[in-house]
């Protein structure tokens, strides 16, 4: 892929690299070998394989990239990342694409950002998460039918086994956590 | 041996049996766990999908607390997601100056600080397999798990990503196999041992998750596993609580109990089952545990097969552990 040296406004390709910790610069060296696509367990559900996403990024197809459901179907298994011959931090790039899609108001697959947002909201207020409570609240808020299904089925099983809390636990120093997160938000911008 | 211990949110309730059994075997193995006081959620795979700097700040608060409380410079997490997040934050903060400066300022707002690299973040499996070692594990075995066929399931986040220095192979890990063998269990060949359980996909796209779960259950069933041993609360929850849904969706009839490897260790160490959190799994482990015999099973025939001249010239499986 091309190296960009001229002065011009940053493209989505540049932003992705800038916003990804780790060796994201390696994205310039993508060979389009498709090892990532072949390793991806949720590949069949994606609009574009990770390989295609990188080609589209390079081609400046920003809208298509940010609209794609690809990052939202990434299960964070890191197979692509350990297999990539160019050591591109692919999983981390998928997270960056999610953040940029939210920031730019894109995303096709609406459930995933809602779930993540419910989770974050919870953690910010309590310092702890409890996955089952979060799942329930998320379903209640966005997919009431799903909440009913969950409560009547799996939720009940887990509750009976003593594996489901009804109230979240809370850390002692929530105010400290809030100061840290607020400062981080101020420094980090939206992405 | 003394370790700082980061339980993570799952171990508080949903994966209580993992916590309980970890504490029980720690006693037998002479490990002291000092829980990081007032730790917060690591953000799982969600926070990083929304905001980068706050996500790293959230994780790093835990590193700062662990370093400040100084229980030990070794920080242990039993949950795979917590382990990866803690390790990743430590790694990327050391590598990325811009991110590091921002996190420093954010922590300062809460009166904390953290120097990347000052803690050694480890997964529970690592300290048991590497720090304690297989000999010591075997020495503790009082009630071997003879005749119990176990599928060792590693999932994604412990073996990978290897770029940060994994203690085991990223695609073909063997440490859990070795531990279970030392317990006397029959460890089955489990080709999907490091494949994904779907993570949070059960909430977002159930069909995607159910297919991934079906593959794992089928693989374990094909090799006649009595149970699957796991080391991650997310894997346990998905495979256990969604097994019914997999059966309903695909018309299958899997009844494979999913237990934590620490529970099996405790059992082999002669600790009572009710002190190891058995019974909290949805697919009951009882029928499988009843298969355990006092006598060692005869060695599997597969080893003899390699000696036949008529076989294809494939490499033989190396003897492990």
**CB count in 10 Å sphere of residue A8:** 8
Quick one: A74 and A26 in the same domain? Answer: yes
The predicted-structure confidence for B225-240, as pLDDT tens digits, reads as follows 999 999 999 999 999 9
Decide if the complex's ipTM is over 0.90.
no
Quick one: A59 and A123 in the same domain? Answer: no
Contact in structure between B242 and B208 (CB atoms under 8 Å): no
Q: Which of A47, A92, A170, A188 to probe by mutation at the B interface, max B CB count within 10 Å?
A: A188
The predicted-structure confidence for A94-105, as pLDDT tens digits, reads as follows 999 999 998 888
Quick one: A25 and A98 in the same domain? Answer: yes
Per-residue pLDDT band for A190 (boundaries 50, 70, 90) equals very low
Name residue A22's beta-bridge partners: none
Residue A2 located in a structural domain: no
DSSP three-state, residue B152: strand
Per-residue pLDDT band for B70 (boundaries 50, 70, 90) equals confident
The pLDDT value recorded for residue B321 is: 44
**Residue A20, φ and ψ in degrees, nearest 5:** -105, 120
Quick one: A38 and A83 in the same domain? Answer: yes
Q: Which of A75, A90, A93 to probe by mutation at the B interface, max B CB count within 10 Å?
A: A75
A184 burial (CB, 10 Å; 0-12 / 13-18 / 19+) is buried
The pLDDT value recorded for residue B204 is: 82
Per-residue pLDDT band for A189 (boundaries 50, 70, 90) equals low
Domain boundaries along the sequence of chain B? 2-124, 139-299
Quick one: A19 and A96 in the same domain? Answer: yes
Residue A14 reports pLDDT greater than 70: yes
The pLDDT value recorded for residue A91 is: 96
Q: What's the mean pLDDT in B28-38?
A: 96
Domain boundary among A77, A103, A129: A103
User: Which range has the worst mean pLDDT, A117-131, A150-164, B137-151?
Assistant: A150-164
Determine whether the interchain pair B51/A123 forms a contact, defined as Cβ–Cβ distance below 8 Å: no
The pLDDT value recorded for residue B307 is: 59
CATH of the domain at A32: 1.10.1060.10
Per-residue pLDDT band for B317 (boundaries 50, 70, 90) equals low
DSSP three-state, residue A170: coil
Determine whether the interchain pair B49/A161 forms a contact, defined as Cβ–Cβ distance below 8 Å: no
Quick one: A97 and A118 in the same domain? Answer: no
Average pLDDT, whole number, for chain B?
Answer: 92
The predicted-structure confidence for A62-77, as pLDDT tens digits, reads as follows 999 999 999 999 999 9
Residue B300 reports pLDDT greater than 70: no
- B139-299: in CATH 3.40.50.11810: yes
Domain boundary among A72, A103, A134: A103
Residue A35 located in a structural domain: yes
Closest CA to A68 of A106, A20, A99: A106
Angle, helices B243-250 vs B233-241, to 10°: value is: 40
- B2-124: in CATH 1.20.1050.140: yes
Structural domain boundaries enclosing A95 = 12-103
Interface of A with B in 92-111 (CB under 8 A): 95-96, 98-99, 102, 109, 111
Quick one: A132 and A82 in the same domain? Answer: no
User: pLDDT > 90: what percent of chain B?
Assistant: 81
**Which residue's structure tokens are 């706050």?**
B54
The pLDDT value recorded for residue A121 is: 85
Quick one: A26 and A95 in the same domain? Answer: yes
One fold for B2-124 and B139-299: no
Quick one: A98 and A122 in the same domain? Answer: no
The pLDDT value recorded for residue A137 is: 72
Name residue B123's beta-bridge partners: B77
Quick one: A98 and A150 in the same domain? Answer: no
The predicted-structure confidence for B127-164, as pLDDT tens digits, reads as follows 999 999 999 999 999 999 999 999 999 999 999 976 67
Domain boundary among A39, A71, A103: A103
Name residue B228's beta-bridge partners: B151, B258
A159 interfacial to chain B (CB closer than 8 Å): no
Determine whether the interchain pair A153/B107 forms a contact, defined as Cβ–Cβ distance below 8 Å: no
Q: Which of A111, A115, A165, A183 to probe by mutation at the B interface, max B CB count within 10 Å?
A: A183
Q: Which helix (H) or strand (E) holds A182?
A: helix A174-188
Quick one: A80 and A146 in the same domain? Answer: no
Residue in A42, A171, A188 closest to B54 by CB? A188
* Domains held by chain A: number: 2
């Amino acid at each position: 892929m091309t190296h960009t040296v001229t002065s011009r406004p940053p493209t989505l390709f540049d932003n992705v690299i800038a916003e990804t910790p780790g060796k994201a610069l390696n994205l310039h060296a993508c060979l389009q070998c498709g090892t990532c696509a072949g390793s991806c367990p949720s590949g069949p559900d994606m609009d574009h394989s990770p390989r295609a996403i990188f080609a589209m990024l390079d081609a400046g197809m920003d809208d298509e990239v940010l609209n794609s459901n690809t990052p939202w179907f990434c299960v964070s298994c890191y197979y692509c990342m350990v297999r990539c011959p160019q050591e591109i931090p692919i999983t981390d790039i998928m997270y960056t694409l999610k953040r940029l899609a939210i920031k730019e108001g894109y995303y096709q697959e609406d459930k995933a950002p809602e779930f993540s947002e419910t989770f974050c909201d919870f953690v910010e207020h309590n310092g702890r998460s409890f996955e089952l409570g979060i799942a329930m609240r998320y379903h209640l808020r966005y997919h009431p039918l799903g909440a009913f299904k969950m409560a009547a089925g799996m939720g009940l099983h887990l509750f009976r086994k003593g594996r489901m809390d009804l109230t979240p636990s809370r850390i002692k120093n929530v105010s400290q956590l809030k100061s840290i997160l607020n400062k981080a938000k101020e420094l980090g911008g939206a992405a | 041996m003394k370790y700082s211990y980061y339980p993570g949110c799952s171990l508080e309730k949903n994966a209580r049996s993992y916590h309980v059994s970890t504490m029980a075997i720690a006693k037998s193995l002479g490990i002291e766990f000092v829980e990081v006081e007032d730790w917060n959620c690591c953000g799982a795979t969600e926070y990083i999908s929304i905001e980068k700097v706050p996500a790293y700040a959230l994780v790093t608060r835990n590193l700062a607390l662990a370093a400040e409380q100084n229980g030990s410079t070794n920080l242990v997490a039993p949950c795979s997601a917590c382990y990866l997040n803690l390790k990743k934050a430590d790694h990327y903060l050391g590598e990325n100056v811009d991110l590091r400066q921002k996190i420093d300022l954010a922590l300062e707002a809460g009166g904390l600080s953290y120097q990347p690299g000052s803690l050694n973040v480890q997964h529970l499996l690592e300290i048991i397999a590497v720090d304690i070692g297989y000999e010591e594990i075997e020495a503790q075995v009082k009630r071997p798990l003879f005749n119990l066929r176990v599928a060792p399931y590693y999932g994604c986040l412990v073996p990978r990503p290897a770029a940060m220095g994994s203690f085991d192979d990223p695609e073909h890990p063997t440490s859990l196999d070795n531990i279970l063998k030392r317990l006397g269990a029959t460890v089955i060949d489990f080709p999907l041992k490091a494949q994904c359980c779907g993570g949070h996909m059960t909430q977002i796209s159930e069909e995607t998750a159910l297919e991934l779960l079906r593959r794992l259950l089928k693989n374990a069933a094909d090799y006649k596993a009595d149970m699957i041993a796991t080391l991650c609360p997310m894997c346990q929850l998905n495979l256990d609580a969604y097994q019914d849904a997999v059966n309903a969706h695909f018309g299958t009839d899997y009844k494979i109990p999913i237990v934590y490897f620490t529970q099996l260790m405790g059992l082999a160490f002669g600790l009572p089952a009710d002190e190891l959190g058995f019974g909290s799994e949805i697919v009951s482990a009882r029928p499988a545990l009843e298969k355990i015999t006092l006598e060692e099973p005869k060695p599997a025939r597969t080893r003899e097969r390699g000696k036949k001249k008529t076989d294809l010239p494939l490499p033989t499986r190396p003897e492990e552990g």
